[in-house]
Structure 1
Amino acid sequence: MNIVIVGPGAIGSLWAYKLHQAGHKVSLWGTKQNQQWMLAADDSPEILFSYNQPQTLIDADLLLITVKAWQVEAAITPLQPHVNKDAILLFMHNGMGAVDNIVELIFEYPVVIATTTHGALKVDAHHVKHTGIGQTQLGAFNEKGSQCTFLVDVLNHALPTVSWNSNIRFALWNKLAINCAINPLTAIHQCLNGALAEEKFRPTLDAVIDELVCVMQAEEIPVDRNQLTTTIDNVIRATAANKSSMHQDIFYRRQTEIDFITGYLVRKAQQHGIEVPANSELYKQIQLLEKNGKHHD
């Protein structure tokens, strides 16, 4: 397939490299002024990719969009006129709501949503590390997207394990719940994920989880409070040595994805008339840190 990776950050670079290794014609699209870009993954040699070449958009069978949630609209809007209506748009980012914001722009395309637990770290501009083996789930965003189940084989061949989830909203909500619990706290306290296992964080985590369960039930997402708590605690343990993306964004004074994680939860809670004081407080604190561009010592 002709594949364009839009936003070759850590996870985008990892997929670009793996898809190229699997025999696809992969190009990159990003914010640099280059026409070519070298990429290496782990200990494998560098590969030269074409970068920001308009012809690659015209020829694309698949756009894999791996920008951050708040960048989705700005990234897709200028590209859309050049992309064939048969090309599949596959969105892979943290949080929810970003694709809903551009429905009018993309309704003619087959649209697929992905959530992944693979870990990736950009060591430098040209080198990505695969820091954690995970799983990827795909699901249809629209009717045309539901005809794209073959993408499971395409992606699974490059970076297993990939599966199709006909209830992708359930998977997205569960990922959102994990992000709501871990990301803001690690960003505010500038701590590793594993620090959240300390007793002092338990009351906040419990309050966040209680509120998540209420909103998820209102959204008709199957959820069990004990199961969700176990899942979140397991992720905290399994990723103990990791810094969350929000931790990194606050540290480097970048915009975070808070509006599409905790912000999305707060907006859904308001629609259902549910009070979510613990999540609202975390949301405010992150917004304040973003505004001040300062990080907590």
Structure 2
Amino acid sequence: MDTPAPASPLPPRYPVAIIGAGALGLSFAARLAQAGNTAVIARDGERARSLRRGIPVGGRLLRLDVFGAEETPEADWVIVLVKTGDTAAAAATAMAMRPKGVLSLQNGLVEALLPTAGPALTVGQGVTTEGAYRDAHGVHPSGAGETLLPPGFETLAALLVAAGFVARIEPDIAQARLAKLLVNAAINPLAALFRVPNGALLNPPHRLLLDTLVREALPVLQAHGLALDEAAALARVHGVATATAGNRASMLQDILAGRRTEIDAITGVLLRMPTPAGVALPTHQALHTLVRTIEQAAPDSRGG
């Protein structure tokens, strides 16, 4: 029988902590840990103990400082990378870490990560096009992306750059979030339904549906402030699919694992937005229905 790995010793305070021990969270943590002390917060102590035994990331076996949500250390900056349905629990965990700032890099539009945060705490949502997936052999980073942070996160941006990320402060982060929603709403459901990596969506027969999703969503997002025309919107989505060609979208990973997806936090958000007169989203509605049907039939459809 394996001897349980001892708990990681607590330093006085971590510079950075990642809440979320999924593929992307572990990929971020692995790179940050090469540059300095980094904590990973898993859903519970059992999961933390398992991960402390070692996890292959990018072909290397890494032993990270992993803690259960009930045993969190303190940290200066907390990055939230959990499914949107787990946001409230992650917010409570983040507050227990007494941070200077909490940054969501989740999918969708997280409007109220920490609604009770005080003026001394910096809270915001950025966007990232980093990709990673997990299989029986470990975590596989897939495609070098860019991470954009709101003003106020300059120190965290510098830590990310020091760890090798392409990261910067984006003054108009609301614009970037709308563009990310466009990308997610086009790529994630299609990848999940066709069970293909992102790059395959650029080829027939998927390309027609991909471009249809972009064209349908664009007038809605433009009405909410997205400053992209059709050519730029298509180029943005195609560019992300190209840069993350080998990545398995998060929604695909969830479908394959029989887990609840983030379809309501991505396509659902788009469908709930007020639409300009005469604008309809039939393709997005159809994909939302299809993904929800598959999700509800999964054995773990109620899980997170």
Task: With the length of structure 1 as denominator, give the TM-score of the two structures.
Answer: 0.83
Which of these residues, 71, 92, 97, is aligned with residue 83 of structure 1?
A: 97
- 1:49 matched to 2:93: no
Deviates more, 1:32-41 or 1:246-255: 32-41
Residues 119-268 of structure 1: pairs in structure 2 closer than 5 A:
119-123=131-135, 127-139=138-150, 146-268=151-273
- 1:64 matched to 2:79: yes
CA pair 254-55 structure 1, distance change in 2 beyond 3 A: closer
Structure 1 counterpart of 2:96, one-letter code: H
Aligned mates of 1:90, 1:19 — CA distance in 2: 15
Structure 2 counterpart of 1:228, one-letter code: A
Write the deviation string for residues 72-105 of structure 1: whole angstroms up to 9, x where unpaired: 123323x255232x52111112222xx3244523
Deviation of 1:177 after TM superposition, in Å, equals 0.9
Deviation of 1:190 after TM superposition, in Å, equals 2.1
Which 4+ runs in 1 deviate beyond 4 A? 53-56, 270-274
Aligned to 1:12: 25
Aligned mates of 2:139, 2:284 — CA distance in 1: 33
- Give yes or no for contact 2:19–2:80 (8 Å, CA) kept in 1: yes
Write the deviation string for residues 137-192 of structure 1: whole angstroms up to 9, x where unpaired: 111xxxxxx33322211111013211110111211211211111111122122233
- Give yes or no for contact 2:108–2:181 (8 Å, CA) kept in 1: yes
Which of these residues, 26, 34, 38, is aligned with residue 38 of structure 2?
A: 26
Describe the SS at the equivalent of 1:106: coil
Aligned mates of 1:70, 1:290 — CA distance in 2: 14
Aligned mates of 2:290, 2:16 — CA distance in 1: 39
Aligned to 1:111: 123
- Any gaps of 5 or more consecutive residues in structure 2? 1-13, 300-304
Matched length = 281
Structure 2 counterpart of 1:259, one-letter code: D
Write the deviation string for residues 85-136 of structure 1: whole angstroms up to 9, x where unpaired: x52111112222xx324452335521132222222233459x4332222221
The sequence identity of aligned pairs, in percent, is 29
Aligned mates of 1:287, 1:172 — CA distance in 2: 24
Deviation of 1:271 after TM superposition, in Å, equals 8.6
- Give yes or no for contact 1:15–1:159 (8 Å, CA) kept in 2: no
Deviates more, 1:10-19 or 1:250-259: 10-19
- Give yes or no for contact 1:196–1:236 (8 Å, CA) kept in 2: yes
CA pair 202-149 structure 1, distance change in 2 beyond 3 A: same
Deviation of 1:272 after TM superposition, in Å, equals 7.7
CA pair 205-16 structure 1, distance change in 2 beyond 3 A: closer
Describe the SS at the equivalent of 2:234: helix
How large is the RMSD of aligned CA atoms in angstroms?
Answer: 2.7
Task: With the length of structure 2 as denominator, give the TM-score of the two structures.
Answer: 0.81
Write the deviation string for residues 239-269 of structure 1: whole angstroms up to 9, x where unpaired: 3443222122112211111111111111114
Name whichever structure is richer in helix by fraction.
1
Deviation of 1:64 after TM superposition, in Å, equals 1.5
Aligned mates of 2:221, 2:78 — CA distance in 1: 30
CA pair 45-186 structure 1, distance change in 2 beyond 3 A: closer
